[in-house]
Chain A
Amino acid sequence: MLIGHQPKDFLLAVSGLTVSFDGFKAVNDLSFYVEENEIRVIIGPNGAGKTTVLDLICGKTRATSGSIQFRGQELTRLRENEIVQAGVGRKFQTPSVFEDLTVFENLEISFPRGRTVFGSLTFQRDDVVKQRVEEVAEMIFLKDRLNTYADQLSHGQKQWLEIGMLLIQDPDLLMLDEPVAGMSVSERAKTAELLNRIIKDRSVLVIEHDMKFVEDIAHKVTVLHQGQILSEGTMEHVKNDPKVIEVYLGH
């Protein structure tokens, strides 16, 4: 259905992507396309290769074969930090923030300036940085915790902080791995609100198990199963796909 489209029309074009770990193909000849400003959710049973797909796009895992084009740039040849600089941000499943640094410092490190060794030696904490950090801190509900060390934050706050660190990078493609996992009901609602606010002007790729949450935010859903696409389309379409019900939703 997508054959014939030119990959350059898309923000992200994944084609023929395969990764094999000692012969086991965690992702097998996978192709999908993400448009500008699209919110795409990837769902699927455990071991379907969802996280591996994000790892491949952000460079954490190297593809065995296939191509990942981001704005016409081939990502499979770039190093992780170059992929970030190209405009791809990644949030990990478990909150990974710098616990020995304050919320302010955590956000400041992600500010896209002075990313070289000498750039960071001469980096100045000027008004632009402070303003941006405060702006993002307000969005992620941590405005009054700027001087708190990150190890003092709750699980949910750490998740928000990591989302904030991605926001400050201002990526064109934001990849979130289970952003509401382990959150309380009220945190979950706040996160949905936060995500709805930050997805404007960028494309988002989300892995999530919470179906209610998926329904709330997804433009399009991709169902993965054993490293391959089982179904793709709107939530409505996917929900009624007998194959999906069989392997995933039915259980």
Chain B
Amino acid sequence: MIINSRFFNRSELVGFLALALLLFLVLPLSLDIFRLNLVAKYLTYAFVGIGLVLCWGYGGILSLGQGVFFGLGGYCMAMYLKLEASSVANTKIQSTPGIPDFMDWNQLTSLPFFWKPFHSFPVALIAIIVVPAIFSFIIGAAMFKRRVGGVYFAIITQAIAAIMTILIVGQQGYTGGINGITDLRTLHGWDIRTDHAKYILYFVEVVLLFGCIVAAQFIRLTKLGRILVAMREQEDRVRFSGYSVANFKIFAFCAAAVFAAIGGAMFTLEVGFMSPSFVGIVPSIEMVIYTAVGGRMSIFGAVWGALLVNFAKTSLSESFPQLWLFGLGALFIAVVLAFPNGLSGIWADHVQPRIDRLLASRKPKPAAGYVADGAPAE
């Protein structure tokens, strides 16, 4: 990993290191495995948030259907784990041994064709990336080539999330229905339910998260990142500068989908099941709220947003289960109205300048003038 002044500016580097310190050291050392596993679950939404920063924050494409891609990644992983848990030996009491239990309950007598590739671990891993990428490409191409955007796109993605839930719930025999795919045990022969495995999975997830942060930062710093910003502001000017706006939107949407899918796959591993309740409209909107609270223009903000809102959700919904959803709604309205750039905006506008002033007053010589990223090297 290259960390230099060009890749991260000073405050980004501080953000990166602070997050690394928290996730790699502070939380694993201070929390018990139950709480750490909860953090791991929260962090799966950070993947979605990073995707939304690129797609929504930078590209201006609001998707209210990220749960679909989170679910696709999660289900691809769950299908592999379920097949491994449904060996003939484990399922010999079923009328058809060797197929997942819910299929047996629904009178299926053989494994559906689309389940068969998921016997293979490499195929499952590839599917986690490729299936959501293809699906988002099809949606993106159908919408953006026809110049469907803005609110209409948001509504359509929301409808897709609703359709997806209905489909999963309705096709019980193939998908496990409303219960989802449960009773997952081993990953390639390795038991994922032990405390030891949960520690390892936590660290795998954090490494992947940092991988995604670096990938998103890379995209942000290329010309493509600047075109996304340009597109958000003046779509026509981008078009009349010789770019196919639709292709760039499709790319941003696909990238966001792939990030979400990685989060979904990790969710299945951390939590041990996958169900339609993480696919539909409500979870999709919650994912947007995490990103908005963290700051839709900030990759690190998205991670903090996912952590803090989920932490609040767990604490508050334990005490006031009825009130939580209202609280979440109020939080979203408050953020949008008062702090459009979320926590990272508050940090950059109010906290950072104070810290800088504090540091500057201690040191006799002030820090060198900040040079914007676009500065041509002379």
Contacts and interface: CB of A to CB of B under 8 A. Distances in A.
B224 interface: yes
Interface in B314-353: none
A112 B230 contact: no
Nearest to B252: A117
20 contacts: A60-B240, A81-B243, A84-B242, A90-B240, A92-B237, A96-B234, A97-B234, A98-B234, A104-B376, A108-B374, A109-B238, A112-B242, A115-B242, A120-B223, A121-B223, A146-B375, A147-B371, A147-B372, A147-B374, A149-B372
A85 B237 contact: no
A134 B376 contact: yes
Contacts of B195: none
Nearest to A114: B223
A53 B372 CA distance: 40
A78 to B, nearest CB: 12
Contact of A125 (B239, B247, B371, B376): B376
Interface residues of A, number: 42
B240 A85 contact: no
Given A117-B247, A146-B376, A108 B229 contact: no
Interface in A103-154: 104-106, 108-110, 112, 114-117, 120-123, 125, 130, 133-134, 146-147, 149
Contacts of A195: none
A102 interface: yes
Contact of B236 (A96, A115, A149): A96
B60 to A, nearest CB: 11
A101 to B, nearest CB: 6
Interface string A60-98: 100000000000000000011100110001101000111
Interface in B41-63: none
A112 B241 CA distance: 8
A42 B242 CA distance: 25
B242 A101 contact: no
A41 to B, nearest CB: 21
Contacts of A133: 376
B199 interface: no
Contact of B375 (A96, A98, A104): A104
A128 to B, nearest CB: 12
A98 B240 CA distance: 13
Interface of A: 58, 60, 79-81, 84-85, 89-90, 92, 96-102, 104-106, 108-110, 112, 114-117, 120-123, 125, 130, 133-134, 146-147, 149, 162, 165, 169
B223 A109 contact: yes
Interface of B: 219, 222-224, 226-227, 229-230, 232-234, 236-245, 247-248, 251, 371-372, 374-377
A147 B375 contact: yes
Contact of A58 (B238, B240, B377): B240
B241 A165 contact: yes
B241 A84 contact: yes
Interface of B, helix, strand, loop or mixed by DSSP: helix
A78 B370 CA distance: 44
Contacts of A110: 241-242
B241 A105 contact: no
Contacts of B247: 116-117
Given A101-B226, A117-B224, A120-B222, A60 B371 contact: no
B219, B238, B245: which has the most chain A beta carbons within 10 Å?
B238
Contacts of B374: 101-102, 104-105, 108, 146-147
B94 to A, nearest CB: 48
B237 A169 contact: no
B73 to A, nearest CB: 22
Contact of A109 (B232, B241, B371): B241
Contacts of B230: 98, 101, 106, 109
Given A105-B226, A117-B224, A117-B251, A60 B242 contact: no
Nearest to B240: A90
Contacts of A100: 229, 232-233
Nearest to A148: B372
A80 B219 contact: no
A115 B243 contact: yes
A108 B223 contact: yes
A86 B163 CA distance: 43
A106 B372 CA distance: 14
